[in-house]
Chain A
Amino acid sequence: MNAHAAVEVAASATEVQRPPAELRYADELARLRATDTGARPPGWVLSVQAARSFVVGDDALGVTRKFVGDPSLIDRALISLATSRGLMLVGEPGTAKSLLSELLATAVSGDSTLTIQGGAATTEDQIRYSWNYALLVADGPSTRSLVPAPLLRGMADGRTVRFEEITRCPIEVQDCLLSPLSDRVLAIPELSGPDATVFARDGFNIIATANTHDRGVNDMSSALKRRFNFETVFPIADFATELALVADEAAKLLRRSGVTTEPRRDILEVLVTTFRELRSGETVRGDSMERLSSAMSTAEAVSVAHAVGLRGWFLRGEPGNAEDVVACLAGAAAKDNPDDLAKLRRYLSQQVAWRAGEQWTALHQARHMLPG
C-alpha cells in the first residue's frame, strides 16, 4: 500500500522536488524551437543562437534569464560544445556551475539527465557501462546483458553527457574519457562484431565541472586537459545584480517557510557586502584581508539571508536585524573552522566600524554575538 502511494507521488511531475530543466522550462523550449531559424550544429535540438537565448534570456520570446554572468561565457561554452573539444566549467563552489551545465545540456540535447556524479568512489562502470550479472551468467556478454552508463548512452544517442565534480575522481578513472573525447569511440572488448565498438553520434559531447577548492585533491592529466576548453565561472561581479538575486531568492524561500514580512533591504545590503568582501579578501575601500577558507558564495548568502529572516520572524515576529546577521554568519562562514571564526571576528571588529550607515553601526555593536 505504502509502496504504491510512493510510486504515484513520484509519477506526478508537479510533486517532484526539483524537475530537470527540460521539464521546468518546457514551454520556453517549445517557443524557442518554434521560432528557431538558425542553422543547427549536427545532432543539436536548437541552433547556437536559440541555445544562447535559452540561457541568457530573450525578452521578446518571453524566455527568462537563467544565468547571471557575462553572455560571452555562454557563447564560448556553446561554441566549444559544437567543436571537438569538451567543455570544462571551473570555479569556486556556489557559482552555479552545475546549474549552467544543466542548462547547456538542455539547450543542446534537450536532456540534462545523462549525469555522472564524480566522487572518490566513482568507478569506470558508473561512467561507461556495466553488466546485468544474472543475464551475463545466463547468456554470456551480449547487448542484452550490457547496462549502459551515461557516457555510452550519450555516445550512442548523440547527446550531451554531464560529468559533475570530475576532479573528485581518481585520475585513472578520469582518463577513461580520453578516447571518447579524442577519437569519439568507445570499445566494449567483451562483445564481438560491430557491437564491440560504439562510435559517437553527432551531438555527443561532455560538459564537466570542477571545483577550484578541490585543486590538488585530484589533478587532471595534461592529456585530458588538452581535450577540454576551460571556462571559469566567477562569482557575480556586480554588487547590484548579486543583491537583487539574493533579495529575490531569499524572499521566495522565506515565503515558502511561512514568513510574511519581507527582508529589510539595508540588512541585505550589509549582508551581501560582507559576503563579497570576505570572499574577495578586499574591502570596498581597498583594505586587503585574508579570505575565509569556506566558500562565501551567492548561494550561501541566500541561505544566510533566509536564516536571518527566519530568526527575526520566529523569535521576535519582525524582519531580521544586524544581530541575526552576526548569529547566522557564524554558522555559514565559520562552519567548524576556528580560523575562519577568528577572521570573521577581526572583520566585524575592525573593518565595519569605519562605515557610515545605521545597519553597519548595528553590525559593529552586535559583534559580541559571535560564539567563542
Chain B
Amino acid sequence: MGVTFIGVRHHSPACARLVASTIDRVRPAYVLIEGPADLNDRIGELLLGHELPIAVFTSFHDEEGGHESWTPLCDYSPEWVALNHGRDAGAELRFIDLPAWHPTFAGRSNRYADAELRHADVIDRLCRGFKLDNADALWDHLMEIGPDDGLAERLAAYFDLVRATAEAGEPDTAREAYMARWVRAAHAAAGDLPVVVVTGGFHRPALVAALAAGGDTSWPEVPGLPEGVRGGSFLAPYSFRRLDAFDGYQSGMPSPAYYQQLWESGPEGAARHLEEAVVSRLRERKQPVSTADLIAARATADGLAATRGHIHPSRADVLDGLASALIDEALDVPLPWSSRGTLRASNHPVVVEMVAALSGSRVGRLHPDTPAPPLVHDLDAELVRAGLDEPAELSLDLTLDDDRERSRILHRVRILGVPGFDRTSGPGTGLDPMMTERWTLRSEPGRLTAVIEAGAYGATLADASAAILGERSAGASIDTLSRVLFDAALAGIHQVSEQALSDVDATVAMAPELGTLGRALAVVVTMWRHDHIFGTARNATLGRVIGAAVRRILWLAEGVRGGAVPADLGRIAAIAACRDALRHAGTALGLDVTDALEVTERITSDTTAPPDIRGAAFGLRWALSSRRALDPVRVTRGAFMVRTLGDWLAGLFALAREEVLHAEEIIGLLDEMLSAMPVEDFLVALPALRQAFAFFPPREREAIAERLLRRRGILGTGRSLLRAVTDPAVVAAGMHLDEQVDTLLQREGLLS
C-alpha cells in the first residue's frame, strides 16, 4: 500500500471530513500530521479529553527577545480529526513539522495561518473568474458548499495550481525537506501498510514529489533547542474569539462559530443557524427585525446562492442576504466579509452583530490532568528567591538595588493581574519625586487560576508581564498608554515588543486632544531625560513616543480653531511639553526643529487660531530660535487686543518665560501699553492678564515689579507692590465702581 497525501486548509470542515473518511477507509499504520515534532512524545496530553478549542502555546527567548506561537485546534480542524481518527484506527501518530522556535517560523504567531492562500496572484485571478470577492468566498464556493464527491481531486487541483504559481519561500522549502524525511521514513517502516499524511495543501505537491524522488529513509531527529534559547510548549484553553482575531499574514479561516455549525450540521443547517443567531442577537439588543425582513433575507440569500451556483447558501450568501434586508442606510465602511481583516470601528451595528454571531463565544477547557504552564513555576521561584512568598507588609526604598529588584518583581506580578499583591503607596507618575513604596502581600484563593491564565502571555514573569503591557497598549488611549509606559518603567521592562511599539505610534498618531497628549508627553520626556532609578533615561521606546507625540501635538495645534476663547491651560502645557522635547531631546532623537518652527510661524500669524495657542506658538518659536530673527516687540504689539491680550500672553509666558524676563523692551512695551489702556478696557482684560502673569514664580514677578518701579524713577524693592494689603479683586471692583460713578456724574452734567 502507498502513501495517501491529503493537502488541507487548516480549520476547514470539508478537509476534516475528507481526513476522517480517508483514515476510516484505509486504516493506516501511520498518520503523519503537520504539527510541531517536538510534541511527539506528548501526544497523549492532547488526547486527554479536552473541550475544544485548545491550542499548543509555544514561547521561547533568544537574543532578540521573546516570541510566541500558537497552534490552535478546534473540533473541525483536519489535524485534530487526524489525531482522533488515527488513534481509533490504531495508527501511530506523528507530528512531522519543525518546532515553533525553529528560525523558519520567525515572525509567525499562528502555525495554522494560510497567508500563501490569500496572497497568491492565482487566487485573485480565480476570484475574478468566478466573480467572487476574496479567497474566503472562493474557498467556500469550491470546497465547503460543494458536494463531497471529488473533493480530494478538487483540493489537489486547487493547491497544485496555487503551488505552481506562487513562490515557495526559503522557510517553506526547509520545512518541506524536513517533513519529507518523516514521510519517507514512515513509508519505509510501514512496509505494505498504508500511510496517511495530513499537511497544508500548499506543501502537498512538494511532499509528493519528494517521496517519488526517494532518499534517506531513517527517522529524522527532532531538533533540540539551540544554545542560548530557552522555551517550551504547553496546552492552553483557546477561544473562538481569539481564533477569529488573527489578522493579516497570521489569519486563517474566519468565522469559527459558523464553521463549527457547518461541521456539526452541514451547510443548510449552518445557514439557518447563522440566520437565527444574527436575528436573535439583534432582537436581544432591541433592534427591530420584522418577519418581512426575514423573508426578504432568506429570499435574497437563496437567490444569491442560485446566482453563484450553490446548492445550499454559503456563508457569504446568507450574510449578503441579511445585509440587503436589514440595512437601510449608507454604510461608513465596506462589509467586513467582502474585505477580510479585523473588524474596524464605525461598522454598522447590524454588521457588528452579524460578525459576532459568526465568531461565536465558545471557550475551550483543559482536562484537569494537563500539565501546568511554566509561568506557574517561574513565578513561584522568583517570589521565593526574593523572599516575597509569605504574607507581609513591606516598605521598599527604591534607591537601594535590592529593594528596587523586589519592587520590580512585585510590579510584574501586579501587571499579570494576580490577586493578593497590592501596592498601598508609591510613585504615581514620573513627575512626583517619591522614592518609597509600601506593599501588602496576602494569600488569595484565586491566585493559581490567575497565574495559569496569565501563562498564556509567556513562560516567565518578565515575558508575561511585558506581553500584557504590550496588549494593554494596543489600541489604548493616550492616557492608558502613558500609564503602560510608566508601569513598564516600574516593572523594569525596558523594551516593549515591536508590535506594541507600532501600536504606540498609531495611538499617538490618532490622539484626538492636545491636553491628554501633552500630559503624556511631559511624563515621557521626564522619564527619558532623568530616570536613572528606573533605568528609563535615553530609552529607545520612550524616544519613539516622544517623536510621535511632538509631531502629533504640532499637527493638532495647527488644527485648533475658535477665535477668542479663554486660554486652555491643558493645551498650552502640551505645547510646552513639545518645547521641552525639542529642546532636550531634539538633537538626540533627530526631531525636526525647522519643521516645528514653520508650523508655529503659521499658527502665530493665523488670525482664526485661539489667542492662547497663537501666543504659545510664538513662545515656542522664541524659545527655540534666535531673537534677532523674530522681532518680539512687533509681534507683541500686534497681539495687543483688549479681549484676547491676556490669553495670548498666557501662551507666551508659559512657553518663553525666561526669554520674556530677559527682554527689557517687552516689559517696557507691556508697561507702556497697559498704562495707556482706558480703565474700562483694562477691567475687561484684567482677569486673563492675572492668569497670564501667574506663570511667573513670585521671585520673577518681584523682578518685574522692580523694573516697573525703576522705569518710573523709583528705587526700591518690588515686594511691596506684590504684597498688596487688599485683594486685587476688591481693587478691581472698586475701580469698576469709580468708573460707574464717573460715568453717572458726567451724564448728569455734574462733572466735565
Query: Taking beta carbons and an 8 Å cutoff, which residues of A are in contact with B?
Result: 48-49, 52-53, 56-57, 59, 65, 70-76, 78-80, 82-83, 85, 90-91, 210, 212, 215, 222, 225-226, 228-232, 234, 237, 283, 285-290, 345-346, 349-351, 353-354
Contact = CB atoms under 8 A, between A and B. Distances in A.
Given A232-B331, A349-B598, A52 B299 contact: no
B329 to A, nearest CB: 6
Given A52-B307, A286-B510, A76 B320 contact: yes
A151 to B, nearest CB: 22
Given A70-B133, A72-B338, A85 B599 contact: no
B368 interface: no
Nearest to B293: A226
B339 interface: yes
B334 A79 contact: no
A210 B330 CA distance: 9
Given A287-B509, A350-B595, A53 B133 contact: no
B552 A287 contact: yes
Given A76-B300, A83-B296, A349-B599, A71 B133 contact: yes
A345 B599 CA distance: 10
Given A286-B505, A346-B558, A346-B559, A83 B307 contact: no
Contacts, number: 117
A91 B330 CA distance: 7
Contacts of B193: none
B236 to A, nearest CB: 31
Interface string B306-337: 11100000001000100111011111011100
B137 A72 contact: yes
A362 B331 CA distance: 37
Name B's interface SS.
helix
A231 B327 CA distance: 9
- Closest CB pairs A-B (n = 10): A90-B330, A287-B509, A232-B331, A79-B303, A286-B506, A71-B131, A288-B510, A70-B338, A225-B328, A229-B324
B223 interface: no
Nearest to A89: B330
Contact of A290 (B129, B331, B559): B559
Q: State which size class the interface on B falls in.
A: 35 or more
B307 to A, nearest CB: 5
A65 B599 CA distance: 46
Contacts of A90: 329-330
B555 interface: yes
B323 A350 contact: no
A92 B576 CA distance: 40
B552 A237 contact: no
Given A82-B303, A85-B296, A346-B558, A72 B552 contact: no
A212 B330 contact: yes
B554 interface: yes
B321 to A, nearest CB: 8
A55 to B, nearest CB: 9
Interface in B404-459: none
Nearest to B328: A225
27 contacts: A48-B307, A52-B131, A56-B131, A70-B334, A71-B131, A72-B316, A75-B320, A79-B300, A79-B304, A79-B324, A83-B299, A83-B303, A85-B296, A90-B329, A225-B329, A229-B324, A230-B324, A231-B324, A237-B334, A287-B551, A288-B510, A345-B602, A346-B555, A349-B602, A350-B555, A350-B599, A351-B555
Nearest to B132: A71
A83 B304 CA distance: 11
B555 A287 contact: yes
A75 to B, nearest CB: 5
Given A83-B300, A349-B598, A232 B330 contact: yes
A321 to B, nearest CB: 22
Contacts of B299: 83
B378 interface: no
B307 A75 contact: yes
Interface string B543-574: 00000000110110011000000000000000
Given A79-B324, A83-B300, A230-B329, A350 B558 contact: yes
B374 to A, nearest CB: 35
A350 B307 CA distance: 49
A234 B558 contact: no
Contacts of A70: 133, 334, 338-339
B592 interface: yes
Nearest to A215: B330
Contact of B328 (A57, A83, A230, A283): A230
A351 B506 CA distance: 14
A32 to B, nearest CB: 14
Contacts of B559: 290, 346
Nearest to A231: B324
Contacts of B300: 76, 79-80, 83, 229
Interface string B131-172: 111000100000000000000000000000000000000000
Which of B127, B307, B338 gathers the greatest number of chain A CB atoms within 10 Å?
Answer: B307
Contacts of A215: 330
B303 A229 contact: no
Given A215-B330, A234-B333, A286-B509, 19 more contacts: A52-B307, A53-B131, A70-B334, A71-B132, A72-B137, A72-B320, A78-B307, A82-B303, A85-B296, A225-B328, A229-B300, A230-B330, A232-B334, A234-B334, A285-B509, A287-B551, A287-B552, A350-B554, A350-B595
